[in-house]
Amino acid sequence: MKFKSKAKTLKTIKLKKGIIPDLEIFKCSDFIKNKNKIIDKIENQFNAKIAIRSSFIDEDRENSSNAGKYISFLNVNPQNKKDLILKIHKVIKSKKNLKQKDIFFVQNMVQNIKISGVVLTRNLLDYSKCININYSTGSNSTLVTSGSKNTKSLIYYKNDIFKIDEKFEQLLKTVNEIIEKTNQEDIDIEFAIDNKKKVYILQIRNLIIPKGKLYQTDNRINEFNKLSKKINKLKKKNISLFGETTYFGNMPDWNPAEIIGSKPKPLALSLYQELITNHVWSENRLKYGYNDLSQFHLMTTFFGTPYIDVRIDFNSWLPKTLGKKISNKLIGYYLKKFRLNKTNQDKVEFNILFTCLTFSTKKRIEKELKKILNKKEKIIFYKSLEELNLQALKQKKKDKELINHLIFRQFEIDKSDMYEIDKIYWLVEDCKKFGTLPFAGLARCGFIAMDILKSLNNNKMINNDEYSSFLESIETVTSQMKIDLNTVSKKRFLEKYGHLRPGTYEITNKNYRENFKEYFGNIKKNKVNHKKLKFSLLNKIPSTLIYKSKKEMIDFIKDSIVMREYSKFIFTKSVDLIFKNLEKFGKKYNIKTKDLSYIKIDKILDFYFNLSNYKTIESIKKHIRENKKEYNLNKNIALPDVITSNKDLFVQHRKSEDLNFISNKIISSKIIEYKIEKNIKNYEGIICIENADPGFDFLFSKNIKGLITKYGGLNSHMSIRCAELNLPAIIGVGEIMYNNIIRCNNVIMDCTSKKIELI
Amino acid sequence: MKIGIIPKIIETHKNQFEASIELKLISFINKVFINCSTETLISKKKSNFDILIISGGNDLPAAINDRKNQIRNNLNNYYYNYAKKNNIPVIAICLGALFIAKKMRCKIIKKKHVGSHSIYYNKKKILVNSFHNYIIDKFNSRIVPIAFAEDGSLECFKVAKNKIIGIMWHPERNKNIKKFDIEILKKYICN
């Protein structure tokens, strides 16, 4: 059946599984001519509360949907004549050029609603076929459609093993019936379920799918079955690891979703693996007194989406000195806690694990590990955490030296007359040894510093203002950048910061040097007082933990935060130089930068050592072709952020996340969605961005009012940067919330009471 | 031990040239090389020094091609070849370093380094003084880099096959001798 206007569709369709509330259709023109006749009819026909909705000609056509553009009214009392006339008038007036055929309809309101929302028959991330339910519990049936915060979503892929949640079984049957009766597969249904589990269908529309978005094999069964097998294998007991099973998340630890995104190109992905998650990460952990995980890669990828293997990650956070028994108990506890609250995935080090000593540690151990460890074990564990702080203090100095050496090596390679491939090889090797390895260490110190600070705050030794002031008083390389932008020449500025790029690992994103105009074009130099506030915590600290003095502790905290930013700033220069040489190489052999992003870095490194009989360039071009093909297949497969078992693939639950608010301010401003390819002229608003790494720091020079990111955690670069600038921000709002936000025009962010209101 | 020094050439009157060595340099040499004597190398003749110092001052003729720079360049060339042939270590400061870099076919470009700036040397970031209008922008495998300035220009290097070092800053102009200056000389010249 072809969809007519939504009112007529509802009127014509007859359902067995679901109920369509009684409705009556009226012509707008009739109402204008003789409203009393219509009002009388409504009064006679409807006793309980009603909804008045528009159903205009252009609202639900097959190829374009103007859904939600016009006003509708809910819970109208049909016996209140005056109110009824007023509201019908408003509905009609919401359309400017009223056509002869335009109609509105009156519908019985469903009573005792328990769940309400919208079902789509496609996953909007990749347009694969599924049952996609966005819902909220409670009696307000407009929450989902208005994009409110407390909505949940469930994406269900039809399969033989896993059933949809019981509460949606009847809804699923009804949707299938609608698909069958209308003979339309892509539909958008508004529904309500009452306390007797009856399903009501309030609206049925066409779901409009953008051209070119249809994926050939648009059900996911084959892919998910394959992935299921892989996940089952990975979840098995591993003799080298503690913990009976494992889970996967795209944000724990080295936050791949934030740094390289959920579908990174082959070059970005392979570089991140080579420089960090293959071996460097574990080498660093061992050096800092944690467990030896050198045989494990931290990250696995499923169809090109990077995931952190949570069991491997948690094992790597055990103090090296801890015995088997305690280790086993801890990992069991950590894994359980992760499974029970998946939204913790971007703050595992704060909310799940014990990775260092802070002012909260004793309390946390007593409270959280009460039933896990016995008294003696708790003491042993506490001591082992003390060791970790000491080790970090010791290692920091060495790591600082290595970073200085990296600068030397970068120049040594860049300024020499080596061949491009050789340069890339050495840039990668140096970046690992003198860049990402010490960075991992300094980032660890930075984490310990932040954790200690937060524990001071949590235990009310310092208040929120003092916490912010302290962070604001620290001079980091990025706060310096903001000053330099106003004070030094463009040439000098680019000499220092030119290598930064938004999306550090993506070669197709231009760096500051190549795109200065776009990133900093409209900035007027202004003389601002750049003097940092001085703020001392000395009197606030109750004890020295393992540090020799309070001063030593504060120096450690400050220097760690500074060095963490600085070392990141330096090692990303190596990545930029790798790209520079790769582009030079590409230019020689006529390979476009866009195509270079499909090369895996291993392929280039391989050329340095191995001479093959194949022609180098042809073999690279073939490699690019193959990777591009695979990437295009992978790119269409959307996977959940956290996978605890293969059921999570077929039945994907999503909740609005616990939000990470930064700063102590309240602001209200317009929403500006930032995309690399989008040319934004005015940045004065709250910038929304999916994932932001240090290359996006240029945003801070644009007078932005606030920042919202889809991915990120309390320990992310952006969290720290915003805290340092006392810029209102919500880092890592998650997918549902993010999509809701970017659909709005304005938001009010109240970072003190941790609330966000969409307008 | 005897140290030969190529001096700075200055034009006192038209077509009248004199050699000049800063007292600071002599004092520096005396402090670093105990019990040494110095010889100012003002004309092309054989000498029996143990270390050659190509001091700062003057410009490369490629930058300013006047008579005094030509005289200086001739002296540099003569004694550089002499030292190389006889395996005599060379310490080349500022202009001297540029001279060696040019010999080694490094890329030299115009850029001012005046006053103190940082260098990266042996895993450390150190402040040095510089007074030069040209920098070494690129080098090749004949050169072993020892220190870089923050802008990536080569500040100190060794010639790979010889005991020849170039230093773009002026170790002799510091009030007190810096530890790292001694360290570099010890490591690359006295070893």
The model's pLDDT over A149-159, given as tens digits with 9 standing for 90+, comes to 567 889 999 98
Q: What is the mean pLDDT of residues B26-55?
A: 92
Is A404 in contact with B124 (Cβ distance < 8 A)? yes
Q: What is d(CA A5, CA A458) in angstroms, rounded to the nearest whole number?
A: 56
Q: How confident is the model at residue B106 (pLDDT cuts 50, 70, 90)?
A: very high
In this structure, of A11-25, A94-108, A463-477, the range with the lowest mean pLDDT score is A94-108
Secondary element (H or E) of residue A627: helix A616-634
Residue A546: phi and psi, rounded to 5, are -100, -5
Judged by DSSP in three states, A244 sits in coil
pLDDT value of position B127: 94
Taking alpha carbons only, the member of A276, A266, A343 closest to residue A316 is A276
Give B148→chain A minimum CA distance, Å: 6
- Exposure string for A91-110, b = 16+ CB within 10 A, e = fewer: bbeebeeeeeebbbbbbbbb
Whether residue A214 has pLDDT greater than 70: no
Q: How far apart are CA A462 and CA A460, in angstroms?
A: 5
- In the predicted model, what is the mean pLDDT of residues A81-98? 83
pLDDT of A47 > 50? The answer is yes
% of chain A with per-residue pLDDT over 90:
50
Rg (C-alpha) for chain A, rounded Å, is 29
Answer yes or no: do B123 and A414 touch at CB < 8 A.
no
Asked if A415's CB is within 8 angstroms of B137's CB, the reply is yes
- For residue A579, pLDDT beyond 80: yes
DSSP label at residue A108: E
Cα A336 to chain centroid distance, Å, stands at 23
Interval B140-164 mean pLDDT: 96
Residue A343: predicted pLDDT = 84
- Spatial contact of A464 and A368, defined as CB atoms under 8 Å apart: no
Taking each helix axis from N to C end, the angle separating A35-45 and A81-93, rounded to the nearest 10 degrees, works out to 120
Over residues A455-478, mean pLDDT: 89
Smallest Cα distance from A228 to chain B, Å: 49
Report whether pLDDT(A426) > 70.
Answer: yes
ipTM of the complex: 0.90
Query: Which of the four CATH numbers 3.60.21.10, 3.40.50.360, 3.40.50.720, 3.40.50.880 does domain B2-190 have?
Result: 3.40.50.880
| The predicted structure's pLDDT at residue A148 | 47
**What pLDDT band is residue A385 in, cutting at 50, 70 and 90?**
very high
Are the Cβ atoms of B139 and A415 closer than 8 angstroms?
yes
Q: Do B148 and A417 touch (CB under 8 A)?
A: no
| B148 interaction partners in chain A (CB closer than 8 Å) | 407-408, 411-412, 415
Read off the pLDDT of each residue in A552-571 and give the average, rounded to a whole number.
95
Q: How far is A406 from chain B (nearest CA, A)?
A: 8
CB contact under 8 A, B140 and A401: no
Tokens of A357: 């000593």
Q: Does B160 touch chain A (CB under 8 A)?
A: no
Helix (H), strand (E), coil (C) string for A706-741? EEEECCCCCCCHHHHHHHHHCCCEEECCCHHHHHHH
Question: From A406, which residue of chain B is nearest by alpha-carbon distance?
Answer: B123
For the segment A474-488, the average pLDDT, to the nearest whole number, is 87
pLDDT tens digits, one per residue of B166-186: 999 999 999 889 999 999 999
Encode A295-343 in three state secondary structure.
CCCCEEEECCEEEEEHHHHHHHCCECCCCHHHHHHHHHHHHHHHHHCHH
Mutate to test the interface with B, among A401, A402, A411 (most CBs of B within 10 A): A411
Is the per-residue pLDDT at A582 higher than 80? Answer: yes
Sheet with strand A305-309: strands edge to edge: A299-302, A305-309, A248-249, A642-643
The segment with the largest mean pLDDT, out of A55-69, A84-98, B37-51, is B37-51
Q: What is the mean pLDDT of residues A12-24?
A: 90
Of A412, A495, A496, the CB nearest to B145: A412
User: Which stretch of A16-30, A342-356, A689-703 has the lowest confidence by average pLDDT?
Assistant: A689-703
All structural domains of chain A: 22-109 (3.30.1490), 111-223 (3.30.470.20), 241-474+533-570 (no CATH), 650-758 (3.50.30.10)
Could you give the angle at which helices A717-725 and A550-588 cross, rounded to 10 degrees? Answer: 120
What per-residue string of b and e applies to A493-514 under the rule 16 or more CB within 10 Å gives b?
bbebbbbbbbbbbbbbbebbbe
Inter-chain contact B123–A401, Cβ cutoff 8 Å?
A: yes
**B19 vs B57: CA distance, rounded Å:** 11
Nearest to A354 by CA among A325, A331, A328: A331
Q: How far is A418 from chain B (nearest CA, A)?
A: 8
Q: What is the pLDDT of residue A95?
A: 72
Residues in chain A: 759
With CB atoms and an 8 Å threshold, state whether A404 touches B145. no
DSSP β-bridge partners for residue A118: A134, A190
Long-range contacts formed by B157-163: CB under 8 A, 24+ apart: B157/B97, B157/B101, B158/B188, B159/B100, B159/B104, B162/B84, B162/B87, B162/B90, B163/B87, B163/B88, B163/B89, B163/B90, B163/B188, B163/B189
Which tokens in the block code for residue A507? 């070669």
Task: Determine the pLDDT at residue A93.
Answer: 81
Q: Is the pLDDT of residue A590 over 60?
A: yes
Instruction: Please list the residues that pair with A136 across neighbouring strands.
Output: A116
Contacts of B121 in chain A (CB under 8 A): 408
**Which of B148, B150, B157 to probe by mutation at the A interface, max A CB count within 10 Å?**
B148
Q: Is A324 exposed, middle or buried (0-12, 13-18, 19+ CB in 10 A)?
A: exposed
Which of A569, A585, A432 is CA-nearest to residue A507? A585
- Token look-up 């944690």 returns A290
Dihedral (C-alpha) A390, A394, A395, A397: value to the nearest 10 degrees? Answer: 140
Q: Which of A401, A405, A414 sits opposite B152 (nearest CB)?
A: A414
pLDDT tens-place string over residues A648-669: 999 988 776 667 888 778 888 8
* pLDDT tier, A750 (very low <50, low <70, confident <90, very high otherwise): confident
Confidence of residue A63 (pLDDT cuts 50, 70, 90): very low
Residue B80 has pLDDT above 60, yes or no: yes
pLDDT of A594 higher than 90: yes
**Across the strands, what pairs with A53?**
A105
Burial class (CB in 10 A: 0-12, 13-18, 19+), A475: middle
Query: What's the pTM?
Result: 0.85
Strand partners, B131: B114
Average pLDDT estimate for B88-109: 96
Where does residue A538 fall: left (phi above 0), alpha (psi -120 to 50 degrees), or beta otherwise?
alpha
What is the rounded average pLDDT for all residues in chain A?
A: 88
- pLDDT value of position A213: 61
- Confidence grade of residue A693 (pLDDT, cut at 50, 70, 90): confident
User: Quick one: pLDDT band at residue A377, thresholds 50, 70, 90?
Assistant: very high
Q: Which residue has the higher pLDDT, A525 or A683?
A: A683
CA-to-CA distance for A47 and A727, rounded, in angstroms? Answer: 53
Please tell me the predicted confidence (pLDDT) of residue A59. 58
Hey, is the C-beta of B180 within 8 angstroms of any chain A C-beta? no
Catalytic positions of A are 717
Residue by residue, DSSP assigns A500-513 as --SSTT-TTS--TT
Q: Choose the mutation target among B111, B123, B153 for the interface with A, i.e. most A CBs under 10 Å.
A: B123
* pLDDT value of residue A212: 65
Provide the 10 A C-beta neighbour count for residue A602: 14
In this complex, the residue of A402, A407, A416 whose CB is nearest that of residue B140 is A416
How far is residue A520's CA from residue A527's CA, in Å, rounded to a whole number?
16
* B168 contact residues in A (CB cutoff 8 A): none
For B107, the closest chain A residue by CA position comes to A415
